[in-house]
Structure 1
Amino acid sequence: VTLCRMIIPRNSNLEGLLSVDVDPVNLQDIKWLKSITKLPIMVKGIVTAEDAARKAVDAGVSGIVVSNHGARQLDYTPPTISVLDEVLLSFSSS
């Protein structure tokens, strides 16, 4: 997707724009990326243990970054510090 060529509708926020025009990265994308490079792959934007953290590590990423990307556009996103324990505990129990 070339963002500079996209027509941005008036009164559109970033969340609305990205949810329509940019597909989220999924586990198949991570596996494909691993198949074409030997570089380490990190995943940023992890905010839940059960959903993304364990699956990302199981997919073979080199590391994860627990982050809500600053939550500037998504004001309902939980603060990173409040989900960090949940993510860490999910790895210490396995």
Structure 2
Amino acid sequence: RNFEGLFETQVRPSEGSGIEAFASRAFDASLNWKDIEWLRSITKLPILIKGILTREDALKAVEAGVEGIVVSNHGARQLDYSPATITVL
């Protein structure tokens, strides 16, 4: 129920898969590395970041103070153009 109406269930060949529309609704483009500071201020839990695909972003994550990094292309389900995890390692 939490995701009701979020995912488009039909692919219209003339309009593509809808991934661009989904991503623009599902992800906040204003998020940045400073948001880690805010997250740290409201929790004592370890902060992990998933989806890091470059050395530069891994270094930024460490500088931001995260406790863990998950190198992932998110299963290549919706992002099948992303590099394979083993490639970026």
TM-score, normalisation: structure 2: 0.74
Amino acid in the other structure paired with 2:4: C
1:17 aligns with: 21
Residue 51 of structure 2 aligns to a residue whose secondary structure is strand
* Contact 2:50/2:69 (8 A) holds in 1: yes
* Contact 2:7/2:22 (8 A) holds in 1: no
TM-score, normalisation: structure 1: 0.71
- Using the TM superposition, give the Cα deviation of residue 81 of structure 1 relative to its aligned residue in structure 2, in angstroms: 0.2
Q: How many residues align?
A: 82
Higher relative contact order (CA 8 A, sep 6+): 1
Unmatched 5+ stretches in structure 1: 85-94
Identity %: 54
Q: Tell me which protein shows more helix as a share of its residues.
A: 1
Q: Which of 61, 83, 87 matches 1:78? A: 83
Unmatched 5+ stretches in structure 2: none
- Using the TM superposition, give the Cα deviation of residue 82 of structure 1 relative to its aligned residue in structure 2, in angstroms: 0.6
